[in-house]
Structures are given as structure tokens and as C-alpha cells.
A and B are shown apart, each in its own frame.
Chain A
Amino acid sequence: MSVYTVHKLLHRAQVDLEFREALRADPGGAIADWPFTDEERTALLSGDVAALARGGAHTFLLSRIPRFGLFGLDRDDYIRRMQALRNDAEPALDLRDRL
């Protein structure tokens, strides 16, 4: 998983308001040119934040998805989906001692 590209998307959504709006209006179109794997693109467009976290995405950065209303997720959806990680044997990657 090219976790850097996922992080870069969530950074861009914070610092570029035009891009943030485009991402809200047409998520598929806004990320069409981004070099995600099929798996990442599917996870993003379906709001599968638990899959993104399992792939190594920083949960602080992922929390920008509901904050900015991206990929159809509001805060309650986001929290519910992230709760799936509670049953994982390994902690989220952003809580491990490596990049």
C-alpha cells in the first residue's frame, strides 16, 4: 500500500480548499489521476477507513475524512467503522515503532 499517497491526499485536502471541494463534489474524479492501487482507491471511495488504517494510514490524518465530510462519511460513521480495529491483534501502524 502506497500509504504516503493516502497521507498526501489527506494533507492536500487540508491545505487546498479548492481540492477539498472537488473531493467532496466528485470523489472518483478528484482522485482519478492519483497513483493509488485499486485496493486503496476502493477503500477510499467506499469510506473503508479501517482498511486504510490497517494498511498503515495515520489515524490522525484519517480523522480528516469525516472532519471535511469526505467519501460520504460523517463522524459517527467514521467512529463506527474504526471500531472494527479494536479486535485486531496488532495495533494500528501509526502506533508502532516504524514508518
Chain B
Amino acid sequence: MATIVGAFGVPHMPTSPGDCAANADSLTARAFAAVRAHVDEIDPDVLLVFDTDHFHHWFYDRLPAFAVGVALSTDGPGTDDWPGEARFEVIPVHEDLASHVYASGLSAAFDLTLSQEFQVDHSITVPVHFLDATDGVVQRPIVPVWINGIAPPFPLASRCRDLGGMVAAAVAGYPSNARVGIVASGAISGDIGGAHARPGSPMAPPDQAWLGDVEGWLREEQLDALVAAATPGRLRAAGNVSGECLNWIALLGAVGGRPPTFLQMDTYGGNAFAAWDLR
């Protein structure tokens, strides 16, 4: 049966590929490189990504709380174009595992939405660029599992934790020797385009209290405390993209609340960079 061999959490600022190429010594560049080293060392066969699409594939015309992408491949970020971004014409999708996760979810009372044709935005291309791609070519197939963390009201944190548990059970029941890596894509605290943006940037300063609390819960394996605190109101108060924290909660649900092998916080950007070696 398949096994989860590692888990990796990273943010997905769309300008990071360009910024990190220009300055490899920045905190962001070094933190992405540190997580990449763990991916290379653990070397999973497939990356299942808990992700927040930012009104690119998913929009208010059809907005699932949870969805799975089941296809042979995807591409991105398409018209989600940013300066210096990483572009991929082909990102392979592990169609069979994706299909298994979708079916397992339905069997476990998770009424998942299915998408069989989709383009991923920077929330997938940035993690793929930093954690997987070599010379611009994606090495491992992905399984996108989307969580609505952008358009309130969000699904409950407890439900996201349980979604992670469902994924772990689905992997454990997948008849293959696949070694699976779990990825959480997104910020811990961030607000983009709001009233408190910093001069020269669309981003507001992160919610330091929330960031500090989440760091403590991550380090001390206190998933239940994080889930209890991550109420819809608290996530929104931490900024309009802080719902991406739900992707981290799903990851923790999948890895069983174990402590990270590596954790680097970015208090300026409101981010965490983390790796779990589960071998």
C-alpha cells in the first residue's frame, strides 16, 4: 500500500521565483531552498497539494468548499501572470491517485467537488517551482486538493483537519507502492489589497499574534489547539488570505499532528516554511 513519506509547507508569493533568482541570499530564498533539500532527500513519487485557488479556476459562479483535480495533466499559471513568475506548460497529475482520493472522500462522507479540466494558479506553480521543478521541468505528478480559504465563509478548521485524515486513510488504502508527499500551499497570515497595505506593496503587515501562536502550535504538535483557535472570525481577522492556514491544518491532519523536522518562520511576510520527514 502507498505511504506518506514526507510533508512540506510553503507560501506561494507569485513574485518569489523572480525575487529569489535575483537574490539567492534572501530569507525567502534560503527557506524555500531548505524545504527543497528535504524534498530531494525524502524523494516522494507524487505530491498531493492542499491548495487555495485565488479566484482563477474557482470563482463565485461555482465555489466548492473542497475539490479534487482528476486529470492526466494541467498547466499554469496561465493568465494569472506576474513578473518573474515560473510558467509550466505541463504539470503532470497523478490521475489514478487523484481519482482514488476523490472516491475515498465520497465513501468517507466528504462530498468533494470533482474537476477534470483545470488550470492551476500561482498557488500551485510557485510550490512546484521551488520544491520540485528542475531546469523548468516538473519532476513529480501532483494531486490538487483545493480548500476554499479565500472566499468567506470558509469550511471549518476541524473539517479541514478531518479532510487531511481522510487523505491519509485514502493513501494508506491505495493499492500501490507510491511514496506520497503532502504539500500545504499558502500563508499563515496575510492581507492583500486591503486598507492596511504597506507603502509600495499590496500586502499589509501580518498579524504577529496569530503568527506567533501558530508557530508555537506547529512546534509543539498542538493540532487541536490550532483547530480550536482557527475560527472563521480569527482567520479573517488575520487577513484576507489567512484562510490559507486551512491548507496547513489539512496537512497536519494528514501527518497526525507530528512535529516538523524543519520550521522557519518569516515574520515579515506572515509565512512558515516547514518539512516533516515521516520515513
A contacts, CB < 8 Å to B: 4, 7-8, 10-11, 14-17, 20, 53, 58-63, 66-67, 75-76, 78-79, 82-86, 88, 92, 94-99
- Picked from B54, B61, B150, B194, the residue with its CB within 8 Å of the CB of A92 is B194
Contact A94 B240 (CB under 8 A): yes
Expressed in whole angstroms, the Cα–Cα distance for A16 and B237 within the complex equals 32
- Picked from A8, A79, A88, A94, the residue with its CB within 8 Å of the CB of B202 is A79
Expressed in whole angstroms, the Cα–Cα distance for A17 and B81 within the complex equals 10
The number of A-B residue pairs with CB atoms under 8 Å apart is 88
Is B107 engaged at the interface, CB distance under 8 Å to the other chain? no
Give chain A residues whose Cβ lies under 8 Å from the Cβ of B79. Answer: 14-17, 20
Expressed in whole angstroms, the Cα–Cα distance for A67 and B193 within the complex equals 10
Expressed in whole angstroms, the Cα–Cα distance for A61 and B56 within the complex equals 10
Residue on B with the closest CB to A61?
Answer: B55
- Pairs A–B under 8 Å by Cβ, sample size 30: A7-B55, A8-B61, A11-B59, A14-B79, A14-B80, A15-B56, A15-B78, A15-B79, A16-B79, A58-B55, A59-B195, A59-B240, A60-B193, A62-B193, A76-B200, A84-B195, A85-B194, A85-B195, A92-B194, A92-B240, A94-B152, A94-B236, A95-B194, A95-B237, A96-B152, A96-B236, A97-B152, A97-B232, A97-B236, A99-B153
Q: Mark B187-211, 1 if CB is under 8 A from A, else 0.
A: 0000111111101101000000000
Contact A63 B59 (CB under 8 A): no
Expressed in whole angstroms, the Cα–Cα distance for A15 and B56 within the complex equals 7
Is B151 engaged at the interface, CB distance under 8 Å to the other chain? yes
Contact B193 A59 (CB under 8 A): yes
Contact B194 A82 (CB under 8 A): yes
Is B268 engaged at the interface, CB distance under 8 Å to the other chain? no
In chain B, positions 227-262 with a C-beta closer than 8 Å to chain A are 232-233, 236-237, 240-241
Expressed in whole angstroms, the Cα–Cα distance for A4 and B61 within the complex equals 9
- Lowest 6 CB-CB distances: which A-B pairs, in order? A63-B193, A85-B195, A59-B193, A59-B194, A95-B236, A79-B197
Q: Mark B84-99, 1 if CB is under 8 A from A, else 0.
A: 0000000000000000
Residue on A with the closest CB to B202?
Answer: A63
| B-side interface mostly | loop
| A-side interface mostly | helix
Contact residue range for chain B?
20 to 34
A37 to chain B, nearest CB (A): 18
The residue among A17, A53, A60, A63 with the most chain B CB atoms within 10 A of its own CB is A60
Expressed in whole angstroms, the Cα–Cα distance for A58 and B59 within the complex equals 12
Give chain A residues whose Cβ lies under 8 Å from the Cβ of B237. Answer: 95
Expressed in whole angstroms, the Cα–Cα distance for A58 and B241 within the complex equals 11
Residue on B with the closest CB to A13?
Answer: B79
Give chain B residues whose Cβ lies under 8 Å from the Cβ of A61. Answer: 55, 193
- Picked from A8, A85, A88, A97, the residue with its CB within 8 Å of the CB of B60 is A8
Contact B55 A82 (CB under 8 A): no
In chain B, positions 10-62 with a C-beta closer than 8 Å to chain A are 54-56, 59-61
Residue on B with the closest CB to A49?
Answer: B193
Expressed in whole angstroms, the Cα–Cα distance for A14 and B53 within the complex equals 13
Contact B152 A86 (CB under 8 A): no
Contact A60 B54 (CB under 8 A): yes
A84 to chain B, nearest CB (A): 8
B201 to chain A, nearest CB (A): 8
Contact B233 A97 (CB under 8 A): yes
Contact B241 A92 (CB under 8 A): no
- Picked from B59, B196, B199, B200, the residue with its CB within 8 Å of the CB of A86 is B196
- Picked from B152, B192, B200, the residue with its CB within 8 Å of the CB of A63 is B192
